[in-house]
């Protein structure tokens, strides 16, 4: 079940029609760009959580 967390950022980034818009802007960046930039640290955190959740 925890491996589904790894699919989430990839699935969001592949659903382009849902975030292909200019507004709202954040620091001058259109929504399209800042959402993709936000997904990078989210992906890293989710990968870390799945890694730490593994039993050794």
Q: Domain-by-domain residue ranges, the chain? A: 4-53
Check residues 44 and 20 and name the one with the higher pLDDT. Answer: 44
For 28, which DSSP code? T
Tell me if the pTM is above 0.85: no
Residue 27 has what pLDDT?
Answer: 86
| Number of CB atoms found within 10 A of residue 9's CB | 20
pLDDT exceeds cutoff 90 at 29:
no
Q: What is the pLDDT of residues 34-53, one digit of tens each?
A: 888 999 999 999 999 999 88
pLDDT exceeds cutoff 80 at 1:
no
């Amino acid at each position: 079940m925890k491996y589904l967390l790894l699919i989430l950022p990839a699935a969001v980034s592949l659903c382009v029609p849902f975030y292909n818009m200019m507004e709202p802007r954040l620091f001058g960046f259109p929504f399209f760009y800042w959402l993709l930039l936000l997904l990078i640290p989210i992906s890293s955190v989710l990968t870390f959580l799945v890694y730490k959740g593994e039993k050794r």
